[in-house]
Structure 1
């Protein structure tokens, strides 16, 4: 079975620096240890972070969303990692290239790079392609070295390179964080990709689940949420794995749910084990809305603010778990950010 997951951060961000996923991995834990890995399965995920020994940033900012490759050598790695996302360039071009090299050294391969937009592989005597790009704003390095905001004609050109594959997947970074339904323009774009000839669309970046639809017999998963991430908003702790299987006659698409437990690592669960409002049965009632632009983005801003409040509460609750030097840095940085915001 081909198993495609959501966002994977093997690093730490701002509020969990020194006390999150990366620290757990550095202690010798495997973030994928609770996931059943069967012989013959092919695993694909979004590598949302950097693995390098270098960074263009200084101080503690050089530690955020970055982990040294020596800590990732002994974990179970996916077959393929996507690198088209808004954190992969966070530490500069050298660290990005180092990340690509390190992914290969782990026995994996990557796609979504500006020079390697798609990857082809065989599964049960069929040729599978997966293509990736990001539609999110690049804030760290310009121009980015991954495939970013392509024009329609560029996507058409890439499609021509993989059109002979038996099953063609698009795996894209798009949408708005914490929103549980897509913006109407996303639906139009996803339909265009299917009309072009792709067989399956899988969305990432919102960090929460969104609904899926079947358009002209093809599945479109607007967001499958997180897979490994230290976020404390409860809705970010549930995600999905999209499964692709080949039988004698056709490809079959299905999904299963995961829950990120308190140790930041995922475990597969049934629909009955997760809240109704993060199940597809509910989320599938939300897409297709004729919502005004202003209404959608006001909802998005409200959800972002709510998530920040949860993150700050988590930070205060766990303040004594942090090293004093890290705590001092975070407090100083927070004060600076507040001053800039008030201006």
Structure 2
């Protein structure tokens, strides 16, 4: 799926604020400026993020989205042209203690500010999107309604992955409903599709002159990956267990983008060090052209750093979570923000948080924040990764 809008949500907010200040100051606009602003609104519509246009493209069922040409003058951006900020967080869902978050804005709580501050933000939606279907033969079952996608958008999220072991918790009927929600979603949903081509298809957008592509897949060897893996004519999730197919998707994405992000569901629950299968696929994805390889699943944080030119984050942990996982430090979490300049990771900044008794990630500062940040840095020790620039 492709969105050719070249403006970020943050840049557009600044542009509108500047226009209001000019009006309040009584500064007249020349005919030339009026024409430029009109052109900008013709292109960007209601002033949303690059992901907003995805709602009109039928998600992964449409191979491309064609937008109007960019305006002659684009709003100023905090970073220089060719630089983009990307924010990532972990697993979210709306069930049990977090179900009521669908009625709260922002649903992700105060950490939404960190996600909104980036040009592009992404999380893993650990859930089927359905009210129907049959619970599959597995221990845990998560589901929500399509309202979750709008709630995440209002929390500053620009895209979600559903390539995980809970996307098809309610069988084929639930999968049909999830695909319908994907098609009408206000933000792109990757890693799931009506067939193999759709499930592996990247979301592609342009932000601040940077062409960005996002691919998602699950490496978890479980019931969902075995039973509901997308095929040539079969709906389901994108699987990292089919490594050649995933690598092809990343190489294809690299041919059309400056920056390629691969968001994986991987690792072993409760283990804070990456397994050999994670290290192996991270190396292959780096060689295939991935700028960043990030992911979730273990319910605890894993280390992060640089693998050659590629930023790798082996595990973000829980983020908006229905209950406490039975693992030490499972409530520690945060948002990682990458600054990517001309295709290279320039900085990686971690903003610590702690999942509270309502399942909501709360920012941590002072000694509490340093404790989480220091522990997260120490987790790099078993990854074989180099320290990321900061």
TM-score of the aligned structures, taking structure 2 as reference length? 0.64
Conservation of the 8 A alpha-carbon contact between 2:240 and 2:246: no
Deviations 1:138-157 (A, max 9, x none): 32571330112443321232
Deviations 1:245-298 (A, max 9, x none): 245785434132222122211133348424459722221123349xxxxxxxxx
Correspondent of 1:237 among 305, 320, 331: 331
Correspondent of 2:93 among 9, 34, 56: 9
Correspondent of 2:379 among 274, 283, 288: 283
Residue 55 in structure 1 maps to residue 133 in structure 2? yes
Which piece of structure 1 moves more, 48-57 or 267-276? 267-276
Correspondent of 2:109 among 2, 27, 33: 33
Stretches of structure 2 that go unaligned for 5 or more consecutive residues are 1-84, 230-235, 386-390
The residue that corresponds to 2:49 in the other structure is none
Per the TM alignment, residue 50 of structure 1 is displaced from its structure 2 partner at its CA by 1.7
Residue 120 in structure 1 maps to residue 201 in structure 2? no
Deviations 1:203-254 (A, max 9, x none): 2100111111312132111111111113324511112322132457854341
Per the TM alignment, residue 126 of structure 1 is displaced from its structure 2 partner at its CA by 0.7
The residue that corresponds to 1:133 in the other structure is 217
The whole-number CA distance in structure 1 between the counterparts of 2:181 and 2:144 is 11
Q: Find runs of 4+ consecutive structure 1 residues off by over 6 angstroms.
A: none
The residue that corresponds to 1:98 in the other structure is 177
Secondary structure of 2:223's counterpart equals coil
The whole-number CA distance in structure 2 between the counterparts of 1:53 and 1:249 is 41
The whole-number CA distance in structure 1 between the counterparts of 2:366 and 2:311 is 19
Stretches of structure 1 that go unaligned for 5 or more consecutive residues are 13-19, 290-343
Conservation of the 8 A alpha-carbon contact between 1:48 and 1:83: yes
Secondary structure of 2:330's counterpart equals helix
The whole-number CA distance in structure 2 between the counterparts of 1:94 and 1:196 is 35
Aligned residues: 279
The whole-number CA distance in structure 2 between the counterparts of 1:212 and 1:71 is 29
The residue that corresponds to 2:278 in the other structure is 186
The whole-number CA distance in structure 2 between the counterparts of 1:199 and 1:111 is 18
Which piece of structure 1 moves more, 137-146 or 198-207? 137-146
Distance change >3 Å, CA 278–CA 138, structure 1 → 2:
farther
Distance change >3 Å, CA 232–CA 143, structure 1 → 2:
closer
Correspondent of 1:143 among 223, 228, 232: 228
TM-score of the aligned structures, taking structure 1 as reference length? 0.72
The whole-number CA distance in structure 1 between the counterparts of 2:342 and 2:239 is 37
Residue 161 in structure 1 maps to residue 271 in structure 2? no
Deviations 1:117-148 (A, max 9, x none): 22111111111111111111232571330112
Residue 260 in structure 1 maps to residue 355 in structure 2? yes
Per the TM alignment, residue 26 of structure 1 is displaced from its structure 2 partner at its CA by 5.6
Distance change >3 Å, CA 124–CA 272, structure 1 → 2:
farther
The residue that corresponds to 1:311 in the other structure is none
Correspondent of 2:165 among 77, 83, 86: 86
The whole-number CA distance in structure 1 between the counterparts of 2:145 and 2:318 is 22
The whole-number CA distance in structure 1 between the counterparts of 2:117 and 2:348 is 19
Distance change >3 Å, CA 39–CA 285, structure 1 → 2:
closer
Distance change >3 Å, CA 220–CA 39, structure 1 → 2:
closer
Distance change >3 Å, CA 94–CA 192, structure 1 → 2:
same
Per the TM alignment, residue 70 of structure 1 is displaced from its structure 2 partner at its CA by 5.0
